[in-house]
Structure 1
């Protein structure tokens, strides 16, 4: 291996003696503040889980979801037979219609009694009786209205809906069963209320406590950004190790759209500082085997300069050694090499 690297270095430094004279596009290196991150492998956890129970008695006629199914918020997860509730609602509506009709009749009698009373043609007791009849009619309307609302509520309870987006963990009933109030139906967990947890090495504890920005790297390369993350670090280290349990609560959101599920493994990045660094576009780096270099501008032309770099994402690399601020390098190293070969 050492012999191979030595040979590559010999070839490399032979290439650095090739000078160029054309006016290629150069990029000047400058020191910029760049985030310093602590990267941790973490596991996604659900913070909300619940068991949905029956509120009424009824026979189950629909069970659209099974264990491990994804359920959107508001979807019907259990449907009961509603024949009795439909009949109760129709009865309550009929009673309300009757009460409204009676109220209209009593109101007309009360208005007539009021006009005659103002003319002094009926006694006060007769007017009081008309008033009492009108008040009783209004009370019956209020009672009938409440009965309709109650009947509507009972009808709505025949369709049990998911309180949040989530995953069905367990189903306690089957199609055709008779459920009673309080009987558990389905248990599930939320995909809107999540957190991530992982082990934080001891040397990073102090820095991470000051972190004001976090990112989660998804499997497709997408980044989820979180400002002022809610971090909790356990007050004691793990038995047999020197790491602390770290948890970060995620803000409420529908994480199904990010394919972020409980139990999945992700990468958490916590910004702990801003460091002055030299950043280059990846296109400026030229490789010879395991050796990286750039075309550096000199008075005589462009010459290959070996550099040590680190990938920082977004098609950029950080220069760890080999170049100083103010140095100019060719932006597209491969394109420049292609022109040299011709």
Structure 2
């Protein structure tokens, strides 16, 4: 029973095709249906080599402890986005605070001693020409004035270092980015140089892919490149083409810098890189101009004052950003159509019109 039904469907399909061909050859251009036609024209199309590109961070870092102490708080975890300068974690600061207080006191003492030494030096300098002060006393006052001034400078340097030690108890983000690893936990005691958190900058990433050696000339001529994922297209002219290869197959490494200000890219994801390798001439028609029933693929081509059903052979389809004209799906016609042929743009509507016209004639 199934075989009988399938045979009936095949017979119906063939009859429909023959009827469509007959009607197409019987109705003239002067038919009542307004016909929208297009002119087949050969156009240049670029062929692309699709390559897998992996997204990598350009800037990444691991922040380490610049002082010792116990961790009081960790403000960010793995996968968190962190703005530049944000406090990542806090370390106890009692020891550092005590060192700061001692440095401030030392500076105050040095400044007081310097004030006294400078005052004495000024007094001796005024009395020495009058013979009231011996040369030895004058030399001692001069030496004390210089050494006390140097002591103030040294105390100021120690104060700066003590302040930095206090600042090191709050570890800040060196750039805006995403945390990728946490090496310590709250409450742990850490020492100088111990890794704390790792991350990478998200505003600029790079896509890395490898080009086979036979396409090195096309790569050398490459000024910009398109990359895409399932949702978005990316274009960049910041291309770093390596002049050597470390790959076993001797392919050429290419790094493409990508702006990621909207955070649509993620480190580790894959993109498709489109490398232009050749330009060919081909005829493309809108998909609406193609009539397909069963194994028949045809268009309605004008011949004289009639539109005849003409069988065609199709190639690849182009959509979206691959098109040079608009966003409608275009189909490559390999045979059956020549430059300058007038083709009905909406083949399905035309077939329906022909069937309706034939039914009206029959009645």
TM-score range, shorter chain: 0.5 to 0.7
1:64 equivalenced with 2:70 (yes/no): no
Question: Any gaps of 5 or more consecutive residues in structure 1?
Answer: 238-243
1:262 aligns with 2:267: yes
Please tell me the root mean square deviation across aligned C-alpha atoms, in Å.
5.0
CA contact (8 A) 2:239 2:257 kept: no
Give the Cα–Cα distance (whole angstroms) in 2 for the partners of residues 324 and 186 of structure 1: 65
Per the alignment, residue 183 of structure 2 pairs with: 172
Between the aligned partners of 2:14 and 2:117, the Cα distance in structure 1 is 105
Cα separation, partners in 2 of 1:250 and 1:208, compared to 1, 3 Å: closer
CA gap of 1:10–1:273, structure 2 versus 1, over 3 A, is farther
Contact 1:73 1:165 in 2 (8 A): yes
Return the alpha-carbon distance in structure 1 between the equivalents of residues 166 and 40 of structure 2: 70
Residue pair 1:171, 1:186 contacting (<8 A) in 2 also: yes
| Equivalent in the alignment of 1:153 | 164
Aligned residues: 327
Normalising by structure 2, what TM-score? 0.64
Conserved in 2, the CA contact under 8 Å of 1:215 and 1:226? no
**For the Cα contact (< 8 Å) 1:116–1:122, is it kept in 2?**
yes
Question: What are the ranges of 5 or more consecutive residues in structure 2 without an aligned counterpart?
Answer: 1-9, 322-326, 354-363
Q: Aligned-pair distance for 1:80?
A: 0.5
Paired residue secondary structure (1:220): coil
C-alpha separation in 2, matches of 1:286 and 1:127: 108
More strand by share: 1
| Structure 2 CA distance for aligned equivalents of residues 120 and 276 of structure 1 | 107
Question: What is the CA distance between 1:109 and its match in structure 2?
Answer: 3.8
Distance in 2 (CA, whole Å) between partners of 1:13 and 1:77 is 78
Q: How do residues 187-198 of structure 1 correspond to structure 2 at under 5 angstroms?
A: 187-189=198-200, 191=202, 194-198=205-209
Counterpart for residue 149 of structure 2:
138
1:271 paired to 2:276 = yes
Which has more radius of gyration? 2
After TM superposition, list the pairs within 5 Å mapping 1:284-295 onto structure 2. 286=289, 288=291
Counterparts in 2 of 1:71 and 1:279: CA distance versus 1, 3 Å: farther
Cα offset, 1:236, TM superposition: 3.3
Are 1:77 and 2:116 an aligned pair?
Answer: no
Map of 2:138 onto structure 1 = 127
TM-score, reference length from structure 1? 0.67
Distance 1:100 1:203, change over 3 A: same
Q: Contact (CA 8 Å) 2:45, 2:279: kept in 1 or not?
A: yes
